[in-house]
Amino acid sequence: DGTAAGTIMVKDINTNFTGNMPRGSVPRLFCDVNGVLYFTAMSNAVGIDYAIWKSDGTAAGTVEVNNIQLGDAPTTAQRPSLLTSFGGSMYFVEMTDLYRVTNTGVTELVSDNIFPDALTVAGNHLFFTGRTFAQGDELWKTDGITTSLVKDIYPGTTQSNCRLLTKVGSTLFFTADDGTHGTELWKSDGTAAGTQLVKDVWPGANPNGAHIPSNLIGVNGMLYFKSGTASRFELWKSDGTDAGTMLVSVIAPNTPNNTQMQLINNNGVVYFNNNNKELWKSDGSAAGTVLIKQLNTCRLPAPVVASPGTMVFYGADENAADLELWVSNGTSLTTLLLKNIKNDNPGSMYSNSAPNAGYIGAPFAHSNG
């Protein structure tokens, strides 16, 4: 609960040892389904057998749901992955198949031999990318009972490479190539007719892929993304229409191309960085897109919200070469070093930060003794 006294082990899932060292269960891929936490963990004698578990926060209520993988040494592809909550059930992928665990604990096969990926809930559908010999890699959907192809965007066996599935309201945005326009921004309401190209930002097949939309995020009912021309990336937004898909603002035009731009939604405001090592924010208007602070470097992990409007990120100013934790309330004066955790290069930057969880992971140097 955020206190030392309230931080306890729920259950010792893997009690086996390697020599004198406990193996641990390495729980991961946490998924909340109506107050029940699903996750994967290792628990067999070999110590590498991933199974799906669920927990209500008590030792007695932390139990193995199933273990459908075969053998004691699964590859990464054979392990349960992409745990996703939808319609009161927990969906997951194992190798080429899509499964679900119902609220009664029963594991059911939803669809097989479809290579599902990028499970994303939007509206009344669970969307995902699937691959078959007949259509290639395309957009699919399921309601848990019926699984079907949404649209063969690139007709025939050539795949459209649907990527970056992103929910904004009840609409699914994604990128795809229909064979004519190159990789562009698309949207879907779950029907073939409602699966449409949003805007041809860079007309033609764009073989170099210079402008391809990326870093899609939803903020206040709008989609924000990084896109641009053959020479430069900028911040764009879309309401799902051609006319409503537009450049927000040209960011520091005399600075290097914004290839490293990362976008984050923090309390309804878009925060982003650029190649000029600056932290920016935007409310979706040109006038409201402003520089917050220039740093020696700026990297934006999934945000950790300390309080509404406050963002935690990794950065370094002109006085430090190492990356440490900073906080920002959206102004230069309130963008400050939080703590110098590790006094050497590359600092305390750590990738296993938990989005919106109120904490962040960082390595610490051990003291002698």
Q: Which residues, in sequence order, are CB contacts of 30 under 8 Å at separation 6+?
A: 37, 38, 39, 83
**76 φ, ψ (degrees, to nearest 5):** -60, -40
CA-to-CA separations, 17 to 28, 29, 105, in angstroms, rounded: 20, 23, 30
User: What gap in Å lies between CA 82 and CA 4, rounded to an integer?
Assistant: 31
User: What gap in Å lies between CA 176 and CA 178, rounded to an integer?
Assistant: 7
Q: According to the model, what pLDDT value does residue 106 have?
A: 87
User: What gap in Å lies between CA 98 and CA 78, rounded to an integer?
Assistant: 12
Q: Which residues, in sequence order, are CB contacts of 243 under 8 Å at separation 6+?
A: none
Q: What is the pLDDT along the chain (369 residues), one digit of tens a residue?
A: 778 888 899 998 888 766 666 778 889 999 999 999 999 998 765 545 788 999 999 999 999 997 665 444 455 556 899 999 999 999 999 989 999 999 888 889 999 999 999 999 999 999 999 998 888 899 999 998 999 999 999 998 888 999 999 999 999 999 999 999 989 999 999 999 999 999 988 877 665 555 789 999 999 999 999 987 656 778 999 999 999 999 998 876 666 566 678 888 888 889 888 766 778 899 999 999 998 887 766 666 555 566 667 777 766 654 555 667 777 888 888 888 877 765 555 444 444 444 444 444 444 333 333
Quick one: 309 exposed, middle or buried, by C-beta within 10 A (0-12, 13-18, 19+)? middle
Give the global pTM: 0.84
* Strand, helix or coil for residue 286: coil
Q: According to the model, what pLDDT value does residue 352 have?
A: 43
User: 4-296 adopts what CATH topology?
Assistant: Methylamine Dehydrogenase; Chain H (2.130.10)
Element (DSSP H or E) covering residue 270: strand 269-273
Q: Which residues, in sequence order, are CB contacts of 241 under 8 Å at separation 6+?
A: 198
Cβ–Cβ contacts within 10 Å for residue 229, how many? 12
Q: Which residues, in sequence order, are CB contacts of 29 under 8 Å at separation 6+?
A: 39, 40, 80, 81, 82, 83
User: What gap in Å lies between CA 115 and CA 113, rounded to an integer?
Assistant: 6
- Residue whose C-alpha is closest to residue 124's, from 91, 171, 89: 171
User: What gap in Å lies between CA 78 and CA 73, rounded to an integer?
Assistant: 9
Cβ–Cβ contacts within 10 Å for residue 366, how many? 6
Contacts made by residues 230-235, CB under 8 angstroms, sequence distance 24+: 230/202, 231/257, 232/257, 232/258, 233/257, 233/258, 233/259, 233/261, 234/258, 235/261, 235/263, 235/270, 235/272, 235/282, 235/289
